Structure 1
Amino acid sequence: MMIINSNSYALPSSFIYSGLSLEPRSVEQVLLRCAEGTVEWLYPTGALRLSLEPRQPLGSPGSGPSRFTACIKPVATFRGAQLYLEKEGILKLLLSEKGPSPHSKVHCFSWHPHQKVALFLQATPHQDISRRIASFRYELKSDWDGQLALPLNKLSMEGACRPCNDTEILMAVCTSDFVVRGNIRTVLNDRDMQESVIAVSVTRVYRQKFTLFQPRGHSVKSLGDIRTPLSCGVRPGPGTFLFMGWVHFGDAWLGCAPRYKDFKKVYETATETHENPCEIALE
């Protein structure tokens, strides 16, 4: 019989917890509310139930977000527990201790505000007392007024490889974590991570949420890497592009990448008809 601790409490963004203070059949209940962070469970014992309740931004509209999305990235040395997604009382196994190396797998899932969602970490029994750590990074996002609809859609394989239409391109300019103009230098394929890494040379930075693109060495131009799923089959090609996307666990991920001349036509047409969601300096 499991012993459930009903006293839930909120965790800071980065959290270290020791299973040595838990009874073997107890369940500790805690809240995850920060936009991103790390959970580290030392010597897993019993179970941890992490309720996902993203904070709502100040001054947010009364209607609230239409949905939430969470992404979980286990560390390569994840050991000592199994990770489940609990949605509406149903458990789904996300990560098994006996499964393949988890470092290449990011799990993302969405839910509506009325749904109850939690992560359930259950310790796996071991005969020895060697040190084990069940650790993962997480991101929690809210979809406000459809502004995050594009990146959330791009989390799926189908969405990640589909070219953006004109409406999505114009919205991406306004809402992406980074918007840069530049050229493709090289494309490296990482089959272990199932990712393609696009090395870009940037001629202009319109916006970047973090310092993703900056000069390196003796280069005058800013350089940086953008990731996309390997299955998209990205290849290097000539021309100038407008790269737009979002930051995912500290890395830049591609959302839209129209050729700059094509984007310019779309933007100028939208400007003439007053359909631009925001303004950007073309030159």
Structure 2
Amino acid sequence: MADRTPQTTLITGASSGLGAEMARQLAAKGHDLALVARRTDRLEALRDEVATAHPDRRVELRQLDVTDEAAVARVVPELDEALGGLDRVVVNAGLGKGAPIGTGRGEANRETITANVLGALATAEAALELFRARGRGHLVVVSSMSAVRGLPKAMTAYAASKAAVASLAEGLRHELLGTGIDVTTLYPGYIASEMNDQPPGQQPPMMVSTEKGVRAMVAAIEARKAEAYVPALPWALLRPVMEHAPLPLFRRLV
């Protein structure tokens, strides 16, 4: 059943994985969509899929690399105008590249930090300029369970980037409390996506399907929760363990 109050949601990194599945599930709940990503062919296929399943939904597409600050500043208000106002912006675009620091492969780490941190900042800047002007809106920042505690080897830069965007969201939530602008931080656990695609038998424990994991994310978004560890079971329970376990024990867990 469609949501009784239609909303318009922009999703970055919407061409695949969690972003694409969020688009499908939010469209099913009555949301009009603004979808941006670097790969327009996949966006077009997703738009056709949504149009077939929900012909009453409006879907606008734009090619966008979130590391291009000037492009983000131009495209977000353009989509706001095209759809008659954005109610929500989901900061989802990012990279999962990485290498152990100091092994001569720093470019992968720099690309991840640039996309995940500076891309998120550029998107938040553009979204909040619109939301502040109208005194309402909902910024959703997709962090990760890896933000809870620093991780080793190829995950070090990625975990640091997700901790940075979680801190960015927390600072904004503090500042904007009571203004009509809500800020949600999502901490996904192991949810199947292109970023963590691995052969059967090599996937991490507790991995859930994209559909199930995103269902938990969408529920938290629609409830406008301040923070959500998703899916709640087991990640809400594991968060304090991850945060406070002695380092020798934590190393065995990860």
How high is the TM-score relative to the length of structure 1? 0.25
Q: Which structure shows the bigger proportion of residues in helix conformation? A: 2
- Structure number with greater CO (CA < 8 Å, separation at least 6) is 2
How high is the TM-score relative to the length of structure 2? 0.27
Q: Which structure shows the bigger proportion of residues in strand conformation? A: 1
